[in-house]
A and B are shown apart, each in its own frame.
Chain A
Amino acid sequence: MTLKRSHTIGVLLLGLFGLLFLDLLFSAPIDPFRAPPPLAFGSGTQASGGFCATPLE
């Protein structure tokens, strides 16, 4: 089987687009007025993003 890499990228982009479309449908809408400051450094608040090392407790 021979497949062009551009086709593979096309399939990936379709998958990403699908994921983001579902996200748009089912997730809470983004409130641009609640956006965090551009940099965490100097923001005065502790980072709270999801990360692999985050403990369960």
Chain B
Amino acid sequence: MSSTTVTTAGPANPVEQRRLRILLSLGMILLILLLAIYAGIRQGILLAIGLGFGITLEGLGFGFAGPWRRAILERNTHGIQAQILALGLAALPSLLLLDIAAGELTGATAPVGVAMIFGAFVFGAAMQVVLGCGSGTLVNAGSGNLMGLWALPFFIAGSFLGTLHLPEWHALGQLEPIALSDWLGTLGAILLTLGLLAGLAWWFRQWMPSNDRILPRKFLLAAGFLAGLAVLNLLVAGQPWGVAYGLGLWGAKLAHWSGIELANFAFWSVASNAERLTQSLLLDITSVTDFGLLLGAGIAARWKGPLAAQVSLPTRLWIAGAIAALLMGYASRLAYGCNVGALFSGISTGSLHGWVWFAAAFAGSIIGVRLRNHLIGGSR
């Protein structure tokens, strides 16, 4: 996921490394307990889930932007197949749970519309320039990647700015939200979702040479962990895993604290959003899992051994990274989410917009990988 040149680190001292791992483990447990005492058991569990996401994504080298890039440039679709496996593993229990506890759990159901498709396309292109999607930017920043850290504030700013213009974008036209389970019943939604995922996995599998079609074990593990954590997130939070809402809220809170009046904007005048501006970030579900993701990625990176030094990229790529991260944040609001909230959670909870997001963002990524190669002179 790295977007900077990373030099190799020296070998780890086994005794020091063991001591550090114990400290990291104790630190995680302490943070979870403190948050559970301060903000409630649910928030403590959500922090643990967020840490799990960060550890899985960084520790097993799993992501969204990188596998799409490898599929487009090298026809290596192992990563995408693992994403599809994770989606299938999450979709089956999620759709059943949404049926059993419809009064308690909510799916990531959003409308398909002009702005949604445009937003997903722009997000797909921009994430290839930054080399990190919604979750990927957090993982990169958390694990000490300079481009990830650089991109994060711009992503936050973009995600906030996107909320300010939502009514105008929505006015371009959109359908009513379509949940597959409302349309086909729960069983129909499960069969259609799993059938489409199986077909997609088969199609991407054909891209690979016939002697290299077995998924690496670490990707199988990552898919399993990711799906398990996503279902746990739904059970605990009552809503699917998300990323971009929390980042937009951080930006909005900074603006609010700076004296900017947000009550005039439709998004922040909605009662639930207005309430979140005044209440602690530690009570916001997405913010807590985002904090966990950032910290979990850092812990996983350090767990592996000493962190390598890194050399920065040319100035034009830093500028492009800032613009792309800003666009990515902005576009994630138009698209009703990023690769997590719209793609992963949308598809796994049976929303049509998740599928449309996938197609539009993949098309955008095809442009994005070429744009990035152009920016760095085709060297990578």
Contacts and interface: CB of A to CB of B under 8 A. Distances in A.
A51 B239 contact: yes
Contact of A52 (B242, B276, B312): B242
Contacts of B39: 30, 32, 35
Interface majority SS on A: helix, strand, loop or mixed? loop
Interface in A17-37: 19-20, 22-24, 26-30, 32, 35-37
Contacts of A6: 144, 302, 307
Interface residues of A, number: 47
A47 B239 contact: yes
Given A12-B142, A52-B336, A56-B267, A5 B310 contact: yes
A21 B312 CA distance: 30
A40 B145 contact: no
Contact of A5 (B43, B145, B333): B145
Interface stretch (B106-114, B124-132, B366-374): B106-114
8 closest pairs, A vs B, by CB? A47-B238, A35-B40, A40-B238, A5-B144, A52-B337, A5-B307, A53-B110, A49-B285
Interface of A: 1-9, 11-13, 15-16, 19-20, 22-24, 26-30, 32, 35-56
Contacts, number: 201
A23 to B, nearest CB: 5
11 contacts: A5-B307, A12-B142, A35-B41, A35-B42, A37-B42, A40-B238, A41-B238, A52-B242, A52-B342, A53-B110, A54-B245
B interface bracket (residues with beta carbon within 8 Å of A): 35 or more
Nearest to A48: B272
Interface stretch (B77-85, B96-104, B180-188): B96-104
Contacts of B245: 50-52, 54
Contacts of B141: 8, 12
B291 interface: yes
Contacts of A55: 110-111, 177
Given A46-B238, A47-B237, A53-B109, 12 more contacts: A3-B146, A6-B144, A12-B144, A12-B294, A12-B298, A26-B257, A28-B278, A35-B39, A52-B336, A52-B338, A53-B336, A53-B345
A24 B294 CA distance: 20
